Amino acid sequence: MMFSDRLNNAFNIQIKNELNSAYIYLGMAAYFDNEGLPGFAHWMQKQAQEEIAHAMKFYTFVYDREGSVELEGLDKPKADYESPLAAFQAAYEHEKYISGTIHHLYELAQEEHDFASRPLLHWFIEEQVEEEASAKAVVEQLGMVGGSKTGIFMLDRQLGAR
């Protein structure tokens, strides 16, 4: 069964949100590479790859439902931050924003009585719990090390192992 135009449009917006997330994380990776923090950059690159995979999950689902994908332009990402902590705080806030967009999609699927979309959206709801927790953990660790170059270096090595 094809899903409603309203839900199809909302899924297209979410595809943009996910691709925009990848772009944001690539901007953060560039910041970290420019700062000589390859481990932080690696973490953000992995995050960008995950976001592209998420976009493709929505993309495939739209076509599985006999919908159509219309891609929108992406926003230019920020590429400079005050500190590694500021970048990860921005990443954490962004993940909370994306959680909100997923919750909105789930509410819309309920309003449209679209039972087929709910399992996919439930998967994303659970995924967002992990995404938020992962970013928040790094924020907390960066808060603990403060401006310590040794602490940041050690955390950079840890994040490079992701």
pLDDT tens digits along 89-123: 999 999 999 999 999 999 999 999 999 999 999 99
d(CA 83, CA 88): 9
Percent of the chain whose predicted confidence (pLDDT) is above 90: 96
Provide mean pLDDT across the span 38-48. 98
Both tokens of residue 59?
A: 């993309």
pLDDT at position 116 is 95
Q: Which domains does the chain have, with CATH numbers?
A: 5-68+81-159 (1.20.1260.10)
pTM tops 0.85, yes or no: yes
Residue 3 has pLDDT above 90, yes or no: no
Contact between 15 and 53 under an 8 Å Cβ cutoff? The reply is: no
Alpha helices in the chain (DSSP H): 5-34, 38-64, 84-111, 117-145, 149-159
pLDDT at position 1 is 60
d(CA 38, CA 40): 6
pLDDT at position 147 is 86
Contact between 147 and 27 under an 8 Å Cβ cutoff? The reply is: no
Residue 66 has pLDDT above 90, yes or no: yes
